[in-house]
Structure 1
């Protein structure tokens, strides 16, 4: 690598009592940090970040959004950062006014658990998927507009994401599922591409800022990056060494970040087929120590479940199975 990369742990955000399943940040670099997390403890926390006297970053829940009766599985933030969409295993989506901290709409058309949700780039359409094995389309008023009619997944839909609006690429959205299939859909809900991308369940899909690359990962511990213009085989592939729970592209660097059962791993995406380019540039883990009999300390490692980066990629947030969110400062030097 030409640049030297440093990941400095800044601190912890503590407030959840169970797995942190999803983290989102505002994507406007001119605005102050906005960090929101969802958990298996059924709550959504809106965080206020501050520095402690020792310089360590800490967070305090500024708002706690309650209402879901089961695990919170996914979150989406509106472009103006005023509204939040949450998905839950309680079979509901909820639309929140972040200024008031109130739920303005409930989406109750699903008959089974919802694992994923997405909002179109213009914030006018909402997609969700889960145990029903087909996606549903709503408007922001919680009115159901469409239920998938064909090309169904053979198992649960684990993740749905919209592509960004890019001049040279026709807009699309993607779904992945426990059946190992990746499906690319046109805006009119016709299928563009579909194929078995993994041998077992896919847990996460991410689309890079240019809309050119799609990353997939899951139970088979393989991370594949696909070029939307040529999906015959992965453009890049990496061995994560553990089950991949969530993926995110860096907003500025050519990096892919994975939350895995063995911690957070970051790869630089490189055309060079060298051994060192297949190795993560960093692995960030989280462990706690507890005292046992005889003064011996027991070390327990915690798996990474979720990951997010701020708008300029200067902070990386990782959600773990013990309910903690760890924050790292990301810096590069020539």
Structure 2
């Protein structure tokens, strides 16, 4: 697609001049400046840079008005950053009267970032230079702090007057990142091989062939999960057992027996030392990673649909169709109970500050795990019954599978659907989808037609359809450290491991 933009010749020349200087080709850079009549930067900019790097704060502040962006904003912020550096260097030199003067008569009168001023004032109590550096996250006047100050000031200075360091290199890296983000097959951390041609991966970086077929369950397999370190896989089945598999050879390590009815979901603890299994017998069971039975949690009165660990590995949540959510410790203590309408799935934020639960009347509700309030922080409505929630690693995005229709990707900051993935068959069945691959660039889901579907997360385009299962695929899981490996669980009583 052609872009209706104009590349200004003088900007290109300035970028080339800067790059030549940064590569050490000073004579070539000077010759280009002379030939083009375009200077990399005005003398005032060089003076400003030298003033910052040499600690001549008065001169640096005096030059600021002539370097600001056209809207004139950022003068106070720029002065704050310079005076903060002056304050810290005075403390570093144990010149406490000067530091106090800067704090009271230069920083405070600016009237901005008052919380930062308060934090700076507490640094007056530091008993050593080491403590000062640690608490201020600052490496001293002889470290990189002045260069970092210059980089921070760049935000408030007009790029027409002063280019950010390595600007051409930054643009090239952005171009390469854009190309890889648009490549349907790219699933590796390897960079674009050449700037001289457009990037396009061959079909060798996504899982698309069956590497292993795991057999052992005697009925439909409903759920599976890789351990967080990727060394094991746990599978849960309608046959009321769960199985642990080693992922080096995909041999069975243990069979977990104890449930009296089908197991609907399983989850590894954050440190991979324990496994939770839940199911239609209304109970939650805890197992060691070796398959040893540890404890049963009995409180729900109907099928338990989901469970989720907190990051400390000592607490977890469970959801049941009896309309309750319980907050447990691994020793069996109940910390809180929430009542809501038939929860079907839940996820916990990476920092364990809150959780989201999907309810049977097409509602998503977010609860606070710090206050344990019975009232949700917020609630939103989906287009249908939610069967699966899958949170991105950074906690900002959530993949949602519905009882019918497309899979949705939500941006939780704006609480809205931003992507939709179509092509698979749902047919009012519970099918669990997931994010995966390099930087969670792909979306995978099972389907009632016995196939695994893989979409490009950002382009919403179907990339691969994996065939091999004989019946419906209920759940998929991407390996956490091998972006080319995907596991799928099916009604045909097998698990397939897909690889290159």
Using the size of structure 2 for normalisation, the TM-score is 0.48
1:221 lines up with 2:362 in the alignment: yes
Residues 207 and 154 of structure 1, relative CA distance in 2, 3 Å threshold: same
Residues 314 and 206 of structure 1, relative CA distance in 2, 3 Å threshold: same
- TM-fit CA distance, 1:232: 2.2
Distance 1:213 1:61 in 2: 38
1:161 lines up with 2:313 in the alignment: no
Partner of 1:285: 422
Residue from 265, 269, 274 that aligns with 2:408: 265
Q: Is the 8 A contact 1:262 1:303 kept in 2?
A: no
- TM-fit CA distance, 1:208: 2.1
If each structure's helix is expressed as a fraction of its own residues, which one has the higher value?
2
Residues 99 and 147 of structure 1, relative CA distance in 2, 3 Å threshold: same
1:203 lines up with 2:328 in the alignment: no
Partner of 1:52: 203
Residue from 311, 317, 321 that aligns with 1:174: 317
- TM-fit CA distance, 1:58: 5.9
Distance 1:51 1:207 in 2: 37
Q: Is the 8 A contact 2:229 2:272 kept in 1?
A: no
Distance 2:452 2:351 in 1: 28
Residues 59 and 148 of structure 1, relative CA distance in 2, 3 Å threshold: same
Q: Is the 8 A contact 1:263 1:302 kept in 2?
A: no
Residues 119 and 323 of structure 1, relative CA distance in 2, 3 Å threshold: same
Q: Is the 8 A contact 2:424 2:453 kept in 1?
A: no
Higher RCO, 1 vs 2 (CA within 8 Å, ≥6 residues apart): 1
- TM-fit CA distance, 1:254: 1.4
Larger radius of gyration: 2
Using the size of structure 1 for normalisation, the TM-score is 0.70
- TM-fit CA distance, 1:252: 2.6
Partner of 1:305: 431
1:316 lines up with 2:316 in the alignment: no
Q: Structure 1 unaligned segments of length 5 or more: list them.
A: 1-6, 12-28, 32-49, 271-276, 289-299
Residues 85 and 178 of structure 1, relative CA distance in 2, 3 Å threshold: same
- TM-fit CA distance, 1:301: 7.5
Secondary structure of 2:446's counterpart equals strand
Distance 1:269 1:303 in 2: 25
1:252 lines up with 2:411 in the alignment: no
- TM-fit CA distance, 1:194: 0.8
Q: Is the 8 A contact 2:306 2:319 kept in 1?
A: yes
- TM-fit CA distance, 1:278: 4.9
Q: Deviations over 1:91-118 (max 9, x none)?
A: 1011111222211211112221111112
Distance 1:82 1:278 in 2: 35
Q: Is the 8 A contact 2:349 2:395 kept in 1?
A: no
Secondary structure of 2:283's counterpart equals coil
Q: Is the 8 A contact 1:208 1:214 kept in 2?
A: yes
Q: Deviations over 1:179-233 (max 9, x none)?
A: 1211111232211111112x2x322111122222211114211112222123322
More displaced stretch, 110-119 vs 302-311: 302-311
Cα RMSD (Å) of the superposition? 3.1
Distance 1:58 1:143 in 2: 33
Matches within 5 A, 1:1-334: 10=184, 51-52=202-203, 59-149=208-298, 152-165=299-312, 171-197=314-340, 199=341, 201-230=342-371, 231-252=373-394, 254-260=396-402, 261-270=404-413, 277-286=414-423, 305-310=431-436, 312-331=439-458
- TM-fit CA distance, 1:124: 1.7
Secondary structure of 1:111's counterpart equals coil
Distance 2:274 2:421 in 1: 36
Q: Is the 8 A contact 1:157 1:178 kept in 2?
A: yes
Distance 1:115 1:9 in 2: 36
Number of residue pairs matched? Answer: 265
If each structure's strand is expressed as a fraction of its own residues, which one has the higher value?
1
Q: Is the 8 A contact 1:8 1:328 kept in 2?
A: no
Q: Deviations over 1:55-80 (max 9, x none)?
A: 9x561111111111112122122233
Distance 2:350 2:401 in 1: 19
Distance 2:219 2:267 in 1: 19
Secondary structure of 2:218's counterpart equals coil
Q: Structure 2 unaligned segments of length 5 or more: list them.
A: 1-180, 191-200, 460-500
Distance 1:240 1:174 in 2: 22
Partner of 1:4: none
